Copies of this chain bind each other. A is one copy, B any other.
Amino acid sequence: MDKPYFRELFHPQLVNPVFIEGLPGFGNVGKIAARLLVKSTQAKLFTELYSPFLPDYVIVNKEGICRPPRYEFYVSSTEKTVFIILTGDAQPSVDDITAHYEQCGEILDFIAKHECRFIVTLGGLPLPQPAGEVYVAATSQELAADFEKKGALIYGKGRIMGATGLLLGLAKKRGLEGITLLGATKGVRSDHEAGLSVFNFLTKAFGIKVE
């Protein structure tokens, strides 16, 4: 295996889906928020992504069954919006920059096939004194302002590392629109609270009813 490989479990017909990404990263904020969204919207796993850019180990569950690390694409239909939600076990190695670009390119190709035009990436923003804030950066000033009105703070003058940043940047190059939502976190341990803040912001902003 020398290229990312998509294993499709079923092929949903989607109209105008919004793509949500939440992978491991600072405080695991993005992954936690994405998992909460998967659960609360009863999203269904429809595609797995295996990749030579993911770590070279297998993950063994408590029954002793093993599988390679992977990305998972879920689909869920809420009242207002259809979502494709991406989460996963790991990101490419920080040392392999080209891998990040290739992996992100493959993901954008994938969501393009599903006619997706809007993306939301989720992550953590390391701060010394996090207090539940959610920050936003966007592909355009209008979008940033729009989500500022919904209660996010503008994340200005900085960098966003890994898939959370790169997916948005490369999506913009392809003419897509989107935002990144960053939950303030100390960033070292898994930060469930920050993940919940991002999730709550997301559900409110997209009008998702959570049971």
Contacts and interface: CB of A to CB of B under 8 A. Distances in A.
Interface of A: 1-2, 7, 50, 52-68, 93, 95-102, 104-105, 136-141, 144, 148, 154-162, 165-166, 168-170, 172-173, 180
Nearest to A52: B101
A60 B157 contact: yes
* A interface SS class: mixed
A50 to B, nearest CB: 6
The 8 tightest CB contacts between A and B, nearest first, are A52-B101, A58-B169, A68-B169, A56-B100, A64-B144, A58-B165, A64-B154, A62-B156
Contact of A68 (B60, B136, B173): B173
Contacts of A104: 1
A101 B137 CA distance: 34
Contacts of A159: 57-60
Contacts of A56: 97, 100-101, 161-162, 165-166
A182 to B, nearest CB: 10
A41 to B, nearest CB: 27
Contacts of A52: 97-98, 100-102
A6 to B, nearest CB: 12
Contacts of A7: 173
15 contacts: A2-B102, A2-B105, A52-B100, A56-B97, A57-B166, A58-B137, A58-B160, A58-B168, A60-B156, A61-B157, A62-B157, A63-B154, A64-B138, A64-B148, A66-B168
A119 to B, nearest CB: 12
